[in-house]
Amino acid sequence: MTFNDIFKSSFLENIASVSILDMVIALVLAFGLGVFIFLVYKKTYSGVMYSSSFGTTLIALTMITTVVILAVTSNVVLSLGMVGALSIVRFRTAIKEPLDIAFLFWSIAVGIVLAAGMIPLAVIGSVIIGVILLVFVNRKSHKNPYIVVIRCEDHDSESKAKSFLDGRTERCVVKSKTAQKGSIELNLEVRLKDDNTDFVNELADMQGVQSAVLVSYNGDYMG
């Protein structure tokens, strides 16, 4: 085989470069693992608005990556052209949830590994990753951060409310304070001792406290 033979390309010669059996096996496995990734994503999703289209994208992305890598591994010239073509592709869709990035890379990685013929690695690796995500993402913790918004009348009621929260929560930190004539608003980050939130009712009934609001948040504070 000469140097020219390696880079010689013909449309008819490329038809049989990937066997039908290899295509079917790779695409069926890609679909199956893509559905598995989709189910794990659906089970572990913890955002506000669930997007079914993103879950479907994970299945399609796994199969598309498999098709692309099958084509690349069967032809040297095509692999060089594919690198140049994909280098100009830019995606502008913002990923709001950091965990979504992991699912995207997971789908791409599974497609690449399957097309390379490493079927046990793709299957066993996906099962292990899926179990880890199900265990850690769905783990319930009573120490998740909350924000308590309190509106008080004066400094005395503010001090009493703050002392009350210090005794009823595991951790209480003032994040912001807004003072106006006849009104003081406090934003405090708290960590609950358990899942009981009845202390908010008691806090709202305290003398000098106009209102008390408990809000769950992801720990990122912008202030």
Q: What is the reported pLDDT for 72?
A: 78
How many residues in total does the chain contain?
A: 223
CATH code of the domain covering residue 210: 3.30.70.260
pLDDT in tens, 9-57: 555 566 666 778 888 899 999 999 999 999 999 888 876 667 788 889 9
Residues 28 and 97 in one domain: yes
Do 189 and 79 share a structural domain? no
Tell me, yes or no, whether 95 and 179 share the same domain: no
Q: Tell me if 171 is assigned to some domain.
A: yes
Instruction: Tell me the backbone φ, ψ of residue 218, rounded to 5 degrees.
Output: -90, 5
**Structural domain count, the chain:** 2
Read off the pTM.
0.63
What H or E segment, with its residue span, contains residue 150? strand 145-152
Q: Is residue 20 part of a domain?
A: yes
Residue 208 lies in a domain: yes
117 shares a domain with 72: yes
Query: Can you give the residue range of the structural domain that contains 76?
Result: 3-137
Using the 3D structure, point to which of 137, 171, 186 is the last residue of a domain. 137
Select from 73, 106, 137 the last residue of a domain.
Answer: 137
Extract the residue ranges of the chain whose pLDDT is less than 70: 1-17, 47-49, 74-95, 138-144, 218-223
Domain boundary residue, one of 89, 115, 137? 137
Tokens 């009573």 correspond to what residue?
A: 142
Q: Is residue 106 located within the same domain as residue 33? A: yes
Report yes or no: 82 and 68 within 8 Å, Cβ to Cβ.
yes
Give domain status of residue 118, yes or no.
yes
Residues 62, 39: Cα–Cα separation, whole Å: 14
